[in-house]
Chain A
Amino acid sequence: MGRYVLRRLLQLIPVFIGATFLIYVLVWAVPGDPFADMCGERPCSPQFIATMTDKYNLDDNVFVQYFKYMGALLTGDFGQTYAEQPVIDLITLAAPVSLRLAVVAVVIEAVIGITAGILTGLRGRGFLDNLVLVSTLFLIALPTFVTGFVLQIVLGFQLEILNPTVSSAATWGELIIPGFVLGSLSMAYVSRLTRTSISENKRADYMRTALAKGQPKRRIVGVHLLRNSAIPVITFLGTDIGNLMGGAIVTEGIFGIHGVGKLIFDAILSKQGAIVTGVVVMLVLVFLLVNLVIDLLYAVLDPRIRYD
């Protein structure tokens, strides 16, 4: 197991370099004037352009630029925005918020999705099964912003149960509704995935043996069935964390959450290359590490899986 982990960590390095190089090229080497919007309605003064070009090494060859950037990155210097704020400050403010939102979303979708999946998977055809299928179909069909706005209006303005937007502190409690909105689509997938996985595994031999041995239902389902059915679901949840961290732009916009999605979106529109590359590098790392953890979890869940 130790050697497997070490091997995976080493494999992480070329993937990281490849991904970040591609991102760097896409952001900085794409033709176009990076300073087009920066000076209001006027073109920028030539001295300003010269200073900026020097600062961001835009005159160098792409590979050289990339190495200089990575070099700075390894010392923790993610560069500066055009307003001369350190990018690392922006990331350290936005990342924990997005992480909390993503965790809340994943927990909600896991709990509701898995529970719904288990109940319907065990019971087979019936009223509950049809109800879950129809409601998940409904959730898949609704775009996130519809769910978001509807909940914001109903709970925030009409019933006045909650604040319509999230404060800049973004505590766990405030993030429950946005988390629900964010997770609503994936929740549908999780429940269907669990349902299929369970109804498939419930006919397996070891299940009949356990039942024949007289094991309590709770133990059969909770220990044997769930552990074996969990693998596809855990895979899905793991990739979802990565997606949710970077892709929650719409939800963050509706609820006014200062997270990573909004940071990247604003940076793309204002062509702040330093912010975009910095945030994406961080997301690549998060994604790779989360995937590694998921893969290791397989061995925990299913003892038949062995890593050398």
Chain B
Amino acid sequence: MRRPRWLAAGVMPLALALAITSCSSGDGGTDEPAAGGGDPKKNESTEVSVFGTEPSRPLVPGDTSETGGGKIVDAMWTGLMDYDPVTGEPRLANAESFELTAPDEYTVKLKKGWKFHDGTEVKAHNYIDAWNYTAYSLNGQQHSSFFAQIEGFSDVNTPDPDGPDAPLLPATPKAKEMSGLTEVSDTEFTIKFTEPHAIFKVKTGYSAYMPLPDSFFADPEAFKANPVGNGPWRYVARVPDQSLQVERYDDYQGDDKPKVKKVKFVFTDSDAAYADIKGNQLDFLDTVPPQAIAGNVWETDLPGRAKAYPVMAVQAMAFPVYDPKYASVDFRHAVSMAIDREKITKTIYEGNRKPLDGYTMDLVPGYTKGGCGKWCEYKPTEAKKLFDKSGWTGPIQITSNADGGHKEWIEAACGTIAEALKVECTFEPVQAFGQVRQAIEARSMDQIYRSGWLADYPLVENFLNPIYRTGGSSNDNGYSNPKVDAKLAAADKAKTEKDAYRLYHEAEVLIAADMPGVPLWNTPSISAWSERLTNVRLTPKRELDLSFVEVK
């Protein structure tokens, strides 16, 4: 008789948002499902249901930064570049060519014949207008900071003089358009940067850089009710908080034309979704809930239809360096060297996560080994020496949201820390992820906190700039080192991608010398699917490859 699941049911009421941050483990001994093709007739008639979470903003790509909406935006839009679903390598998509015509200027030529779902052609001005709209600070778009390197950005986006909570609002921007974007013809435009920024090309597959049709600018409210993209999937209908349907766009010109005709994103609870997968009522779930991971239950429940996929995501812990308690570099290095990453990944995750050796990971273009060096290796005696030198008093506390399956590894990490440093170490959980976020944004954290990162686009730069640069969009702990900033800026300005990767790696080494955050291990995702799907694979962005999947 199977082990009763009510043991693990204590973590039951998970918010959908928390399902994203839930850890997963396991690299099953299950095989790839029959990679044979599907049945073309079934591909046309079956509606494939995919687990998702309700988008928390209207479906405008420049305003969508969470994974619920991101999944749908990625299906409905295709940008200048996109990323190989297996290797994550960037490749041209809507762009015919994307060449560096001057050290600080790119010229983009668009492919001819691409259309939006309402039949209008995708022209250069659709990109330029969309980018200007997103960058213009009064539009309040979440991705406005992604255009910071383009010339004219400071005219359209003024910084907040005293922080988000304080009364002063930013000044009204001088212009609504960035001078660095110039339309040459209907199918060609140039992007000029204030300083060379070769890496920009690789970023353009991200939702921040999608084009918008003219109908958006004519009537944004109507657009939000009926979003129009240029990607392989066209919006059909939605039931708020329940589901959203898309259909294959048959005039799509890209190489990644889908085989299946209809897809429905279903917004539900992660545990109910897992029950549905078992009962074949739901076709795909990208991350199984903790109740299925406990004891590797997913392997026995779903033989041949579940697998662990590598994803561009890492697990880490961060120090609130604005708190003077954590000012000592020796203390931070000591903590990092006292965590036995090998042992924890072997015992808790049965060897299915790999310890990190730097701030980036090996699935991402630009990765170079050993960014963290000895600071991320388990060296208990040296750790103890540094710890004593730092003069730390009192217990070490690590916090996280209580659900999402983090308790086990944090307690294990605390265990190795306590053993190596001979100090008390405790896990202090809080109710919901929002509380952690709130303390972080108020800069009032006084405990070490769990921090993870799912890359926005496959590039090592995304693991460094947003988090460790002074004023980075996700620099939560106030870390600031002018040498690191200079190195990152030099990498951004590099003339070739290879130079950039070398400089990013040097920045990584500098960051490790300060250790504002402790890299731990990667976080693969265990996905599960129903019996009628074939050709299933998860992209490194933790989404089902909708162009490859078929129904058998």
Contact = CB atoms under 8 A, between A and B. Distances in A.
Interface string A71-89: 0000000000111111001
Nearest to B63: A48
Contact of A33 (B243, B272, B438): B438
Contact of B15 (A38, A42, A145, A269): A269
B474 A265 contact: no
A36 interface: yes
B531 to A, nearest CB: 14
A165 B279 contact: yes
Contacts of A107: none
Contact of B6 (A32, A40, A149): A149
Contacts of A156: 275, 279
B169 A168 contact: no
A93 B239 CA distance: 9
A266 B241 CA distance: 10
Nearest to B403: A269
A67 B2 CA distance: 56
Interface string A142-178: 0001100110110011000001110110000000000
B56 A82 contact: yes
Contact of B13 (A47, A82, A149, A250): A250
Interface residues of A, number: 55
Contact of A84 (B5, B58, B239, B434): B58
A89 B238 CA distance: 12
B54 A47 contact: no
B242 A93 contact: yes
B514 to A, nearest CB: 21
B164 interface: yes
Given A41-B453, A150-B6, A263 B142 contact: no
* Residue of A168, A256, A262 with most chain B CB atoms under a 10 A cut-off: A256
A164 B275 contact: yes
A218 to B, nearest CB: 43
A44 B66 CA distance: 12
Contact of A48 (B16, B140, B243, B281): B140
A48 B275 contact: no
A45 B272 contact: no
A87 to B, nearest CB: 9
A42 B437 CA distance: 9
A237 to B, nearest CB: 26
B16 A47 contact: no
Given A43-B164, A253-B272, A254-B12, A168 B239 contact: yes
- Which of A40, A146, A163 has the largest number of chain B CB atoms within 10 A? A40
Among B9, B13, B16: residue with most chain A CB under 10 A: B13
Contacts of B438: 32-33, 36
A11 interface: no
A36 B437 contact: yes
B95 interface: no
Contact of B142 (A45, A150, A265, A271): A45
25 contacts: A38-B57, A40-B66, A40-B67, A41-B453, A42-B65, A43-B441, A45-B141, A46-B160, A46-B170, A47-B139, A50-B140, A82-B56, A83-B55, A83-B58, A85-B240, A93-B239, A93-B241, A149-B5, A149-B9, A152-B275, A164-B281, A167-B281, A168-B239, A266-B241, A270-B56
Interface of A: 32-33, 36-51, 81-86, 89-90, 93-94, 145-146, 149-150, 152-153, 156-157, 163-165, 167-168, 249-250, 253-256, 258, 262-263, 265-266, 269-271
